[in-house]
Structure 1
């Protein structure tokens, strides 16, 4: 049973064609030093050997919950299907091409206790590894003394998440109450993290744990490698989230922070010839009254090319 000292933590392990990485990922759940875990194994209609591996692990761990989805529904809907059945006070969205380091859950639960009841999410540093598991670099850059420059944001971070990408998504431990307030992930989107950051940080604080808790795997099939293609659904989702953020902004500083993000997305859209999406981004900048000369020029290029 959950206790005040050891609240129940749900791990939603999401798999789509991760067979070659899956055993390492699932073994990292088994290796957690934190005892009070609830585990959901969710396969999003993989076409490789993933379902067979998941069945084997579910049989070896009878307390784990196995969900083999009959059709591919995408990360947001697959996660929600397990989240709605779960009971953990805290929740990890765990892609099964990544690896949880053994102290991950214990460290982050302790960080939540230190951060207080207004904290909706704890995140940390991560090791970025290649397909063979070799270290490439860390997510955050450090100086020769191991100090972060700048230190990642903690506390009220709404403007920070609008302006720049800095959170390592696989390291997040989310408060259940935060996810419930948001209604879970938005299933109309192609990816979840930017939307979660924007909507959650409007009402909740985030806390940075200065520790490496996770290994994030870099490979051509990973979600982070799929952005900025012509008619890219990820870019369409980014635009939808920028619209949500625009509605949530309360101050000129927040609108200026959003303009920084939109301006960067506009440049990427034009660079990758996603011209209809570039037009939409240009329109948001106009509504924010943040158009600079280069923004205007890129908007004209997008209009001419579309």
Structure 2
């Protein structure tokens, strides 16, 4: 990585983590190679796959010998695998690429150029995304767009800490992050089962985010994705969310921020209840009481929680019915 070239067009490190992604890994890696930006390094970590993912990555590396490949014998967890790649990364900016997602050809060039134009403490540039299914068919868009392809609603930029607490308004795989900020934060928290909410809370408190109003990423939605697992009683995502909420509580400084966090905690209380994680319901309720007295609905759930009602099956049937009656091209709303 020439220091001279890095000043002209800063290097960007793409860290791709794969676990049993044999159907999609080649397309994901090819989308990095096909970028119309000159200074890109690609680091691939196979996280103990039991399918042909590692074999396909090895074949890809034989053709593209600049790619760095780490093969874990067992699944070390997403966050630890990413940190392995981060330790090797030399770029000024970093992209965390899941092995089933796709970068559009101008993704890196546009985000890196915007980063170089920004002044002030910006740590993240993020963008719009189209969601695709297993076959690559477009099924949704993150922010609804007008006839010119621009987001119809104002997307938060700058100091977004309060908005981070209010809603998941960022499509995680669209982010480009400053490597020095990731290193300053110690990378992803390896004690957690997912990365984005924690990274947002810790970074947005001290750094700004910039939105680039373009669709630059194809995000794949799969039936066994982490998002789908959150409705299952045995999922570990909600316990990680509790840990992040405590981190957020320690970082809130204004009444509006505490109220935004309270709203998020109320949602986690409902999700924990619906997945029959009754101990978590009580723990989220205890944290909520540090901020406010629970409202009528939350009090009702906290009261019913003592009886451990078997509600998960009904909850999953409702979600299935709701998906069947959604618009064929839905979008994420900023709520």
Task: Give the TM-score normalised by structure 2.
Answer: 0.88
Q: 1:75–1:191: 8 Å Cα contact kept in structure 2? A: yes
Deviation at 1:261, TM superposition (A): 0.7
8 Å CA contact 2:150–2:213 kept in 1: the answer is no
Deviations 1:82-131 (A, max 9, x none): 10121111001100100000000001001112222411001000010011
2:105 to 96, 102, 105: 102
Residue 289 of structure 2 corresponds to residue 280 of structure 1: no
Deviations 1:210-266 (A, max 9, x none): 001100001112222221321321111111100100011111111001011111111
1:304 aligned counterpart, secondary structure? coil
Find the counterpart in structure 1 of residue 192 from structure 2.
Answer: 189
| 1:290–1:142 distance in 2 versus 1, CA, 3 Å | farther
Q: How does 1:44-193 map to 2 (within 5 A)?
A: 44-143=47-146, 146-193=149-196
Partners of 2:226 and 2:37 in 1: CA distance:
28
- 1:18 is aligned to 21
Which secondary structure does the structure 1 equivalent of 2:214 belong to?
A: strand
The SS at the match of 2:88 is coil
Q: Secondary structure at the match of 1:224?
A: helix
Instruction: After TM superposition, give the deviation of residue 290 of structure 1 in Å.
Output: 4.3
Summarize deviations over 1:28-47 as a string: whole Å, max 9, x none.
01110111011111000000
TM-score (norm 1): 0.96
1:289 is the counterpart of 2:257: no
Structure 1 residue 40 corresponds to structure 2 residue 43 = yes
Give, in angstroms, the shift of residue 144 of structure 1: 5.7
Give 2:303's aligned residue. 300
Cα distance between partner residues in 1 of 2:287 and 2:153: 29
Q: Which runs of 5+ in 1 are unaligned?
A: none
Does structure 1 retain, via aligned residues, the 8 Å contact 2:166–2:264? yes
Greater alpha carbon shift after TM alignment, 32-41 vs 140-149: 140-149
Structure 2 counterpart of 1:216, from 219, 225, 234: 219
